[in-house]
Amino acid sequence: MTDIRAEVCFPSMDLRGDIGFFTKILGMRMDMIYPADDPCVAVFSGHGLAVRLDAEQKGEPGQINIRCAAPDTFADGARDLTSPGGTQIGVTELNPPLVMPQTAHSFVVRRLADQAPWVIGRAGMHYRDLIPDRLGGTIIASHIRIPDGGPVPDMVHYHTVGFQLIFCYRGWVDLVYEDQGEPFRLHAGNCVIQPPEIRHRVLFASDNIEVIEIGVPAEHVTTIDHDMELPNGPANPSRDFSGQRFVHHKADQATWAPFRVPGFQSRDTTIAAHTDDVAGVHVIRAGDGAPDWTKHSTDILFTFVMDGTMTLEGEGRDPYPLEPGDAFVIPPDMKTRYADPSPDLELLEVSLPAAFKTVIGA
């Protein structure tokens, strides 16, 4: 509606000084001032904000955060300013660079039977944290479920991430992605990666849908895009998003091959090839031969037990019997063995980066 306007209201201890500060230093426009003979109220607009300064208003000074594509060229490069009337101004990057924390390596086992709490997150979805310490903030792994199927109250949005995986564990979900054509159904056993800042939306979900979501780093920004409608324009499936391409891996089109760990097979999701080895994602099942002790050299190695059972043996650790819903992280250079795999065992493994060495018989 065009006949409604919102303003933030701040006190001013020096309205005359604020007029010059807001117009000349901050580059805002003065829209109103009164009374004419002895002004005590002025309204300014600019940078997507309207501010009302009132010399008679009581309370603490206000604070404004101004985000700039080139902050060094704004307000002579100052990052923290105070107006004559007391308003605090912070100048920051419009699109701050993605910073990856240093990985705090640890051996993590998260079991469903331990009844870790489910919390309600975005769009009413239930989240269960699979890596509580998040390895120093480098990764978040979430077990997500929507108990009641139907339309999902989601909006077109994107994530500022280094890597993000959505693996459909149970049920199915309808999704739509920027430049990837019409909406499609993500079935159990299939997965997608969401390259950095690709616009997307969750549309519809089956009853009791469950997905595994991996995000790097753990804390990342989700931004709503109010302008883009999906699907958009002609499809461009090979588009590059910050060095990564969209992947929709389908289990029924995949081939199985010997896995890096003896006694197992895997199907490669091709995610490593589409991310220039930023991450690798494999689905693993029991194969021929006896499991052996191994150790790896990658920075992060996360595994989720989707079906079946196994015993995770670790150097200097008591064995962990694992079952569906359990997850674990193995730090680099730690000797482990996937013992006693059941015939129906199925694991989801995510490695960052994708290219690394495995030492067998460690």
pLDDT of residue 351: 98
Query: At which of 34, 58, 93 does a domain end?
Result: 93
Q: Which domain holds residue 80?
A: 8-93
Same domain assignment for residues 142 and 66 = no
Instruction: For residue 236, tell me if it sits in a domain.
Output: no
Residue 292 sits in the same domain as residue 353? yes
Number of domains the chain is built from: 3
Question: Do residues 62 and 173 share a domain?
Answer: no
Q: Give pLDDT, residue 133.
A: 93
99 part of a folded domain: no
Distance (Å, rounded) from C-alpha 12 to C-alpha 59? 10
Report the distance separating Cα 192 and Cα 166, nearest Å: 5
Query: 2 lies in a domain?
Result: no
Same-domain check for residues 204 and 304: no
* pTM of the model as a whole: 0.89
Quote the pLDDT of residue 17. 97
Is 136 a member of any domain? Answer: yes
Residue 79 lies in a domain: yes
Kindly state whether residue 346 falls inside one of the protein's structural domains. yes
User: Does one domain contain both 78 and 113?
Assistant: no
- Please give the Cα distance from 201 to 147 (Å, whole number): 19
Residues 89 and 112 both lie in one domain: no
Distance of CA 6 to CAs 3, 43, 50, 52, Å?
Answer: 10, 11, 7, 10
Same domain? 114 vs 182: yes
- Domain boundary among the residues 44, 60, 93 is at 93
Nearest to 130 by CA among 144, 110, 104: 110
Q: Kindly state whether residues 219 and 134 are assigned to the same domain.
A: yes
Same domain, yes or no, for 85 and 134?
Answer: no
User: Per the domain annotation, does 209 fall within a domain?
Assistant: yes
329 and 282 in a common domain: yes
Q: Are residues 168 and 222 in the same domain?
A: yes
Tell the burial category of 242 from Cβ atoms under 10 Å away from its Cβ (0-12, 13-18, 19+).
Answer: middle
Boundary of a domain, candidates 65, 93, 121: 93
φ, ψ dihedrals at 252, nearest 5°? -75, -5
CATH of the domain at 44: 3.10.180.10
Q: Same domain for 144 and 80?
A: no
Query: What does the pLDDT read at residue 97?
Result: 85
Confirm whether 247 is domain-assigned. no
**Dist CA 335 CA 47 (whole Å):** 55
Mean pLDDT per 10-residue section of the chain, whose length is 362 residues: 87 97 98 94 97 96 96 95 97 90 96 83 81 96 90 93 98 97 98 97 94 96 95 95 97 96 96 97 95 97 98 96 98 98 98 98 80
Assign residue 334 the CATH number of its domain. 2.60.120.10
Residue whose entry in the numeric block shows the structure tokens 């239930």: 126
